Each structure stands twice: as structure tokens, then as C-alpha cells.
Amino acid sequence: MKNFWFLIITTSLLSLPYRSSSSTERFRLLDTGNGLFNNQVRFLTQMEDGKILVCTEGMFNVYNGNSFEPLVCDLTYTVPLGMHNICTSYDGGNGLLWAKDFYRLYLINTRTGRFCHDIKERFEAARLTEVFNDFILDHDRNAWIITESGKLYRYDWKNPAEQVYEPRAEEKSRGIRVKEVMQAGPFHLIFLNTGRMLVWEEKSRRIVGEDSTVATPSPSEYFRTAWLQADKEHLLISVSHTEGYLYLYNIYTREWKEILKGRAINDIKKCKDGCFWLGGNQTLIKLSPRFELLQETHRLELTGNETVTDFIMSVLVDDRQGLWLGLSSSGILRAVPPGKYMEYYINEEVAHEEGRMIRSLCPYDGRYLLVGTMGGIYLFDTARKNYQVWGIERSGFFNGREKWAKGFENQMV
């Protein structure tokens, strides 16, 4: 009976989602030593020509495959924005990339690698006289403009912008304002900085619903969202105010399903295999195509057996499915493909370097290696990555169990 319950418990544990406190990926750190303007990364994106564009505090940087080159902008050809807390970029089509940092909106021609000088003229048809506070581009490439007074406009680049929403006077006095607009099929979800959500319908051009599922009584200066269309029916929505939550939202039934709690997520990206990478405050999360937790990482491992912990502000999955992470103060991490890096482990059981010289090497079983050195013969544990004396004090060759593999002579352990 004991064996039966032992089997049941073991099977249950093995079926639980995999979790890790340190990353299963290895990363290469790219920072100011590689030409980055500074290590405060705001967002990452891949341009049409395949190059990686990085927005850091005060500068755009283009990665040429080896190092970063600055992409300097004349601020005359930008649109000022009010202070907000979401820095990102939007695909404008035809090689154009809209980008915003905390204070300004930029338009980049990725085919020429230059900033567009006609950015302000593109808003002339909108006939808006108010100062912009924020800018959002939806999947249909319509602009959503939040003005300094808190009004929300939709602009199709041809006709005058139409006002969609304006907070009531009482709400304005309390500091309530629009923070994000998410396109959800035939609807747009308008989030206020309290978490209250308005549903705007494209067909009727009006607000047709309201949702307070993630709402709080008071507005938050630090209210932040991250979202991604997961499939035809669902959005992955992260909401961070008093506490961080990740939800799966059904566009048509308007149902919410809590996926994670207690994580402040800053960015979400999807891979071709259907999995999702989520970057947050000192955490990297991987979800399965069914939104199950596969991995949660707090320490990001570098190729030199070091780790880094930081806020992940941006996640990028490039056209080769390579993973990039933009960190708030440490630079950029680029995942190294498996098999593209090597590790070394020093045999601390031997006091002198001469005694660490490998004379021969061969497998002992599925876990251990037999290592013959000038100081003796040792077992190397490939799981724990450590050495132990095998019980033979003399140095030299071992010819009993297996022949030693050749080609390792005079290599340091």
C-alpha cells in the first residue's frame, strides 16, 4: 500500500508545471561596453531590414550584429508628449515605425534609417489644437490620441479626429484619465488609470459596455498594462496597480480568467511554437500555448557562470526566434542558442594547477565522467557540476573499465 501511495505522489509531482528560480536559457550581456548609449533600456524592436532597434534613455541605438551605433534625432522633428509610463513602438506600415519614449513621439523610416521630418504635418488633418499627452496606434493603424485635458480621440489620418471619450469633471478632479487602448477584434478596450475598462464598438462608433473586474477605487500614478492578442478569441492582459495580475480575456464573452497573481508584467511576446515570453519586475516567465506556467525565472544566467537580476522592460522574439530582453538598468540580454557556448569547472579537490592537467577522460555512467589528471583520478558529476575523488590516489591512465578517450592530454580541468 505504501508503494502505491508513493507512486501516486511521485506521478502527481512530475505532472506539475516546471518552475525555476534561475533561467534555463543562457544570455550574453550587451551594454555600454558594446556601444550602447546607456544601460537604461526602454524598449526593443526589430526593423524591416532585420536590425535590432533599442530605445535607451536619451538615445536610439541600432545593433549591427556586433555593436551598437547611435541613431541621433533632431528633436525639432518630434511631437512632444506629456509624461507617461509606457515606452513602446508601433508598426506603421511601408517601412515606418512609430516610437515613443517618456516625453516624445518619433517616426522612423526603417528603410533609410532616418527620422521623418514631416511627422507634425501628418497630424494636420486631425485638426486638434490641444497638446498631446499620449499616442497609441491600433492594429488597423488608426491613431488614438489622449490630449492634455484628458480627452480621447480616434484619428484615421484622413478625416478630422473624432472624440471618443472624456472623463467627467468630477473624475478629472480626482486625476482619472485614459491610460491604454487595446484593439480586441471589433472592439477597443479603453482602460482608465483606475483599472475600469470601457468597451468601444467599431461598427456603432460608441461605447457599448463597461467592466470593473480589475478596477480599484482610486487612480494610480503607476497604473500600467501590457497586452497581446493570444489568439482569435483571447487577449493576454497584464494589469499592475496595487498588485500585478495576468488575465486571459475572452473578446466575445467578456470573461476574465486569472492566470498569474503577484507579478508586475511589462511586456508580452509570442513565439512561433505558440509559447509566450513575459518580462516583468525581476522575473521572466514562459507560458505554454495553453497558458500554463512552464518556467519562472528570477536570476538570468550569463555565459560566464554569472547571473543578473533586473526589471525586464521589454521582450523581443526576433525573426529567427531569438530571445532578447531589455533591462531597466543593466543593458540588454541576448539568449545564446543551446550548444553555442561552453562551460568550464575547476577541480577544487586539487590544490595546484599542475595537478589539474587532464591526462584522460571517459564516461563512467549516464551521470558521471571519469577524469584522469596529474593529481589523481576523479568523478565529475555532470548534474551537480562538481568533482570527487574516485578512490585512487595515483595519477596516470585508467585501463580497467574503459579505454580513455584521446585528445584531452594537457588540458586543464
pLDDT tens-digit readout, 44-96: 999 988 899 999 999 999 998 889 999 999 999 999 999 877 899 999 999 99
C-beta separation of 163 from 190 below 8 A: no
Distance from the Cα of residue 269 to its chain's centroid: 7
Q: Is the model's pTM score more than 0.75?
A: yes
Rounded to whole angstroms, what are the CA distances from 201 to 106, 181, 185, 187, 198? Answer: 29, 12, 9, 5, 10
Q: Name the burial class of residue 82, with classes exposed (0-12), middle (13-18) and buried (19+) by CB atoms within 10 angstroms of its CB.
A: middle
Give the helix, strand, coil percentages of the chain, each rounded to 5: 10, 45, 45
Other CB atoms within 10 Å distance of the CB of residue 6: 10
What digits encode the pLDDT tens for the residues 195-235?
999 999 999 999 999 999 999 989 988 899 999 999 999 99
Residue matched to cell numbers 518580462: 279
Q: Which cell is 301 given?
A: 544566467
C-alpha to C-alpha distance for 205 and 100, rounded to whole angstroms? 27
Tens digit of each residue's pLDDT, the chain (413 residues): 444 333 333 333 333 344 455 557 899 999 999 999 999 999 999 998 889 999 999 999 999 888 999 999 999 999 999 987 789 999 999 999 999 999 999 999 999 999 999 999 999 999 999 999 999 999 999 999 999 999 999 999 999 999 999 999 999 999 999 999 999 999 999 999 999 999 999 999 999 999 999 999 899 888 999 999 999 999 999 999 878 999 999 999 999 999 999 999 999 999 999 999 999 999 999 999 999 999 999 999 998 778 999 999 999 999 999 999 999 999 999 998 765 555 556 777 666 666 667 767 788 877 788 887 777 788 888 767 777 887 654 444 444 444 343 333 434 44
H helices within 58-111, ranges in order?
Answer: none
Identify the sign of the CA torsion 305, 306, 309, 312: negative
End-to-end CA distance of the chain: 48
Q: Which cell is 389 given?
A: 575523488
C-alpha angle 401-406-409 in degrees, rounded to nearest 5: 110
Residue matched to cell numbers 533561467: 23
Output the pLDDT for position 349.
Answer: 67
At 347 the three-state DSSP class reads coil
Other CB atoms within 10 Å distance of the CB of residue 11: 9
Rounded to whole angstroms, what are the CA distances from 333 to 101, 307, 353, 391? Answer: 20, 11, 33, 43
